């Protein structure tokens, strides 16, 4: 399986613009985690592996909810993370 910086940017755009659900984005990221666990994930560009992996692990949690059923992360959190990661 392959993951690129362009693809990560696209996922953040889809999340922030609500083009895909949080659950869909988290599921996409979880598929990449499974591939990584099986040593079958390729990073593009290779020199950005750490940054790409950090973004994937963040995206895996975008659908997490608090005990009252509300989401733990706001849209502002997603935007701030993206800025911090420069993606």
For 56, 66, 67, 68, 87, the CA distances from 29, given in Å and listed in that order, are: 5, 20, 23, 25, 16
Which residues fall within 8 angstroms of residue 57, CB to CB, at 6 or more apart?
Answer: 29, 33
- pLDDT class for 85, splitting at 50, 70, 90? confident
Quick one: tokens of 9? 């940017």
Whole-structure pTM over 0.75, yes or no?
yes
As for how many domains the chain has, the answer is: 1
Residue-range definition of the domain harbouring residue 41: 2-85
Is 47 a residue whose pLDDT tops 90?
yes
Which residues fall within 8 angstroms of residue 68, CB to CB, at 6 or more apart?
Answer: none
């Amino acid at each position: 399986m392959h993951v690129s910086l362009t693809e990560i940017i696209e996922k953040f755009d889809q999340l922030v613009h609500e083009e895909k659900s949080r659950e869909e984005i988290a599921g996409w990221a979880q598929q990449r985690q499974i591939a990584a666990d099986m040593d079958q994930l390729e990073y593009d560009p290779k020199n950005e592996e750490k940054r790409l992996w950090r973004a994937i692990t963040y995206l895996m949690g975008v659908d997490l909810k608090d005990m009252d059923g509300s989401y733990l992360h706001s849209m502002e959190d997603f935007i701030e993370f993206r800025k911090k990661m420069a993606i």
